[in-house]
Amino acid sequence: MSRRVVLHVGAPKTGTTYLQDRLQLNARSLAAAGVHVPAGSPLVPAPLFHFRAALDLLGQDWGGPPGHAEGSWESLVRKVRRRSGTVVVSHEILAPAPADAIERAKAELGAGRSSELHVVYTARDLARQIPAAWQESVKQGRRWTYQAFLRKLEHGKPWFYRALDLPSVLGAWGAGLPPERVHVVTVPPRGADRGVLWERFCRTLEVDPAAGPQESTEANRSLGVAETTMLRQLNRRMKRATRREAVFDELIREMLAQETLVRTRSQPVRLPPRLLPWAEAETERWLDWVRGSGVDVVGDLADLTPLPLAEDERYADPDNVAAKRQLDAALDALSAMTTEAARRNDPDRQIVARARSAAARRLQG
């Protein structure tokens, strides 16, 4: 039984949500074409299953109740080993994994003479990826200003930069693998059809993109400067424990960030012009590594070139947003939160309502 394991390790903010959802949506047709996407159960679809497996491998425990990820990695490995053909494992939090986790993953997923391990890394230009990374950190509960984030980024400190530094990620994950088994997929430039990214990713799976015809509507959508700053201020008013609860993700990341606040988005968050030379130098370092390593490139390396602001676009500083614009975003958020609170079934509230009704009937009788 021959097996080709394709391990997609990131990077964050490179269309991973879209790719993972499209894999899930087309799991049956892909399986018919020999490409398998392991899932936990009908209640634990592949994206969630792979997320928990990655958490377990990394020894982390967030995004759910304590212990929710325990045993998930072993379960994923068992499911992979039961399959022949191509098996896909995908989650972006794997990108900056420590050496011991990387060695374990490679050893267990690539075990056996008939098993061939491939590593895939999707890469995006820094001018788009860095602003998206800051927004994502705020959605996850971080409270730092854009400038504080950028200062740490320039020194390679935040988790996001360890995850998006292409040479260090692929130097670690690709160690010991033939370069033709390490794939860099470039994210198409702004404005391109999302299907292009799917087509490129399918090349690493060695499958016809038509085997996954159902298009995904999922996207980790971007916010504007006012909305992101408002969320950051909200994070400052909440305790850390609250920001780590699963309900925080449900309300903030999904309902507010993905649904409510994107409808009236303010100016987009951009890379400050002062950092463009730094981003260009970092990109050149990436490209030198890619060319020298001999890894497989799917797409166009020119897609990684960070572009300056358009001539008619003015840079908007997320740390200097007018109070009125933040207030507008806050009122939109408050309206959505109030509507959600009224919609949800609260057993205690229902008991009180029923008691009041019964008392009213008694008084009337």
Looking at the structure, do residues 182 and 300 belong to the same domain, yes or no? yes
Looking at the structure, do residues 264 and 278 belong to the same domain, yes or no? no
Q: Which of 256, 280, 304 is the last residue of a domain?
A: 304
Spatial neighbors of 52 by CB under 8 A, at least 6 apart, are 40, 44, 64, 68, 69, 72
Which H or E element spans position 126? helix 126-139
Looking at the structure, do residues 202 and 319 belong to the same domain, yes or no? no
Instruction: Report yes or no on 194 lying in a domain.
Output: yes
Determine contact, residues 90/20, Cβ cutoff 8 Å: yes
Looking at the structure, do residues 245 and 298 belong to the same domain, yes or no? no
Looking at the structure, do residues 166 and 262 belong to the same domain, yes or no? no
Looking at the structure, do residues 131 and 278 belong to the same domain, yes or no? yes
Looking at the structure, do residues 135 and 186 belong to the same domain, yes or no? yes
Contacts 24+ apart (CB under 8 A), 105-110: 105/7, 105/57, 106/173, 106/176, 106/177, 108/77, 109/5, 109/7, 109/77, 109/80, 110/5
What pLDDT, on a 0 to 100 scale, did the predictor assign at position 120? 98
Instruction: Report yes or no on 53 lying in a domain.
Output: yes
Report, as ranges of residue numbers, the positions in the chain whose pLDDT lies below 50. 350-356, 358-365
Counted domains in the chain: 2
Instruction: Report yes or no on 80 lying in a domain.
Output: yes
Looking at the structure, do residues 84 and 201 belong to the same domain, yes or no? yes
Question: Which tens digit of pLDDT belongs to each residue from 187-246?
Answer: 999 889 989 999 999 999 999 999 999 999 876 677 889 989 988 998 888 876 665 666
Residue 70 belongs to domain spanning: 3-141+157-216+272-304
What pLDDT, on a 0 to 100 scale, did the predictor assign at position 10? 93
Instruction: Report yes or no on 363 lying in a domain.
Output: no
CATH of the domain at 191: 3.40.50.300
Looking at the structure, do residues 290 and 325 belong to the same domain, yes or no? no
Looking at the structure, do residues 78 and 178 belong to the same domain, yes or no? yes
What pLDDT, on a 0 to 100 scale, did the predictor assign at position 246? 64
Instruction: Report yes or no on 122 lying in a domain.
Output: yes
Looking at the structure, do residues 258 and 327 belong to the same domain, yes or no? yes
Looking at the structure, do residues 28 and 44 belong to the same domain, yes or no? yes
Identify the CA nearest to 211 among candidates 13, 15, 36. 36
Task: Establish how many alpha carbons lie within 13 A of residue 183's alpha carbon, considering only the half-sphere containing its beta carbon.
Answer: 22
